[in-house]
Each structure stands twice: as structure tokens, then as C-alpha cells.
Amino acid sequence: MPDRKPLIAGNWKMHLSVAEAVELVRRIAAETEDVQGVEVLVAPPFTTLYAVREALGDSRIRLGAQNMHWEMSGAYTGEISGKMLQEAGCTYVILGHSERRAIFNETSEMVDLKARAAVSLGLIPIICVGETLEEREAGRTFDVVQAQLEGSLNNFKEEKFIPPTTVMAYEPVWAIGTGKTATPSQAQEVHQFIRGWLERTFGTGVSAGLRILYGGSVKPENIAELMAEPDIDGALVGGASLNADSFVRIICYEKL
């Protein structure tokens, strides 16, 4: 079996004050101190990154951002660069989340530019793909996911190289924030498809080592069965990551 260390990532979206964020991360850090074999990441809003970094101290919990711009600096009002994220202590950045694609018209071409910029700085991208309910019902899940992979990883594809630390995330749009989780076998089917595409594009050795997270209404009640699937290597957790108890239970899924 390839060594893919499970990654449990909390996407805090546009939630929490600085004080709430610090309190939450302190609890997560304290209650998962002894957890071995699972990598933990939190992705707070930009304005709380620095305070969360300070609160983490020498904890092994990683810090990530939810988005970035592809340029290093410049006249891009309202944007944040990867360099700025690094200065705030981030090692990861979520790219192409469905909310960014749907609400802010982010295209796969933009995700591709961001992924290239992130990697050039040494930031690890978490690249999200996933179909809507309409697309699933029309039987277009694999076509949509493949088109997002082709577009969002275009630079890597052209260079025939993807950094082995890159993380993929499959997040069916119909399962995000809706309470409707994909069944483990529905998720596994798409994860396997993604790994197959990565294998054809970058080779077997590379694809076998890349982590693919599942996201969409992950909670303590369903994490263990999702993680039991062979191509699910972790979770991108929204709502349930805002509560210390539920996020810690998800991190400790092996004990559930």
C-alpha cells in the first residue's frame, strides 16, 4: 500500500471572530496532541490566520488559506497573494472550492494559474473538483470532474510533473452544507476515477502517492466509513470543523 498519510482539513469559510478562532484552535490542538498518523489542517479566514498561527505555537497542526491570487503582488484590490499567506504561516492553500467557482465565477484556468503560483512558492495546493446535482442526475459526473481536472491541472499536465505533496479534493456540490453526504461507494467511485486520471496523466507511482480528500457534510457519524474506502485519504470538513468536539471526533475517526 502506498504511504498516504490521512489528512483531515477544516475549512472554516467566512466564520469566527479572532477570539473564537483562537479558542477553537487551542482546543483542537490540546485534544489531538497525542494523535499519531493523521495530519490535521485548519483553513481560517485571512484575518484570523496570524492569530491562529500564534495560538498554534509548536503544535503539529498545519495552517492553510481558503484562496489566493496567482500574482505575487500588484494592483489587485481585495486580493491576497501566496507570499502573504506564507508570511502569515500557511503551508497549504485550498484552490477552486465550489463556492469560489459558483459564487465568484472562478474558472479552472484561474485555479490552474493559482496552483502554479502556489507551487512556485512551496505552498501545497488542495485542488477541489466536484459536480452539481443537475450534472450528476444527467449522468455527467465523470465528464465534469475530468474537465475540471484537465483545466485546473493544465500546467502540471503540460510539464508532465505534479509535486507529490499536491492534494486533490472531491467535493460533490450537492453534498456541501446540505447534510447529504455521498455514500462511501459513490465517493469511492469518483475518487477512483480521479486517481485513474492522475495515473494516465502523471504515471502510476505518482498517482498512488497523491492524497485525495472527500468533502461534503463530513461528520463524526460518517467519517470512519468514508475513510475505509481505498481511495479516500482524508476529508475536507466545513460545518463540522467549526465545533471542537465534532472536529476532534473526526480527527480521531479510528477510535469511533
Q: Which residues bind ligand PGA (CB under 6 A)?
A: 11, 171, 176-177, 215-218, 236-240
Residue closer to ligand PGA (CB basis): 170 or 202: 170
Smallest separation (angstroms) from ligand PGA to the CB of 215 = 4
Closest-CB residue for ligand PGA? 238
Is 97 among the residues known to form the active site? yes
Q: List alpha helices for the chain, DSSP H.
A: 18-31, 46-56, 82-87, 98-103, 108-121, 133-137, 141-152, 154-159, 184-202, 204-209, 220-227, 244-251
Residue closer to ligand PGA (CB basis): 131 or 202: 131
Give the active site residue among 39, 97, 99, 191: 97
Smallest separation (angstroms) from ligand PGA to the CB of 194 = 16
Count the neighbouring beta carbons within 10 Å of the beta carbon of residue 19.
10
Q: What DSSP string describes 128-159?
A: EE---HHHHHTT-HHHHHHHHHHHHTHHHHHH
Smallest separation (angstroms) from ligand PGA to the CB of 41 = 12
> Of how many residues is the chain composed?
256
Residue closer to ligand PGA (CB basis): 73 or 178: 178
Residue with cell 498545519: 62
Smallest separation (angstroms) from ligand PGA to the CB of 161 = 27
Is 69 among the residues known to form the active site? no
Give the active site residue among 99, 106, 171, 191: 171
Q: Catalytic residue numbers?
A: 97, 171
